[in-house]
Amino acid sequence: MPSLSPYLLAVLSVIFYAALTAMAKKTLLTNVPPFAFMSLTVLGLFILSTSASLIFEKKFSLTQLHWPEWRALLLFVIINFASFSLYLIAIQKMPTAHYQLIFAISPIITATLAYFLLGETIQPKFFVGLLFVGAGLYISLVK
């Protein structure tokens, strides 16, 4: 992978995911039910990811994985299934802008989990940011 700034990669990822939300609501979810939508997109993702892995990760083998990695992968699949399901159902029933605003609590949850699970530190300025995020959500979502 080219050595682009990880922050640029993160911005591009956010832009692409935001585009997916609008695409899913406008064109796909009106004709394709949520679980069929998930199946088709995950199948496509599987094909693309497997191809990329075979091309770029030639030294990797499934035999390298041990029970802790398999357990973590299974948990990842279960959580991803639950979050993808809830996401698709939510964006069918609410404005996508509201969903994205609620998604703004993601950094709070991530930082909290990183603190407890990974031992990462939380800087005091994080709590100042929390106040701004909370205020922004309140102003944007409360009528």
Convert the pLDDT of each residue in 121-135 to its tens digit: 988 888 888 888 888
Give 97's Cβ-side CA count (13 Å radius). Answer: 2
User: Are the CB atoms for 120 and 114 separated by under 8 Å?
Assistant: yes
pLDDT at 122: 87
Cα–Cα nearest to 38, from 47, 48, 30, 29: 29
pLDDT at 74: 96
Per-residue pLDDT reduced to its tens digit, 49-58: 999 999 999 8
CA distances (Å), 117 to each of 16, 44, 53, in order?
Answer: 28, 32, 28
Q: What tokens appear for 64 in the block? A: 């390298």
Per-residue pLDDT reduced to its tens digit, 97-123: 888 888 888 888 888 899 999 999 988
Query: Does residue 72 surpass a pLDDT of 90?
Result: yes
Query: Does residue 1 surpass a pLDDT of 60?
Result: no
CA distance 65 to 27: 39
Per-residue pLDDT reduced to its tens digit, 10-46: 889 889 988 888 888 887 777 888 899 899 999 999 9
pLDDT at 2: 53
Residue type, 117: L
Q: Where are the domains of the chain?
A: 1-94, 104-143
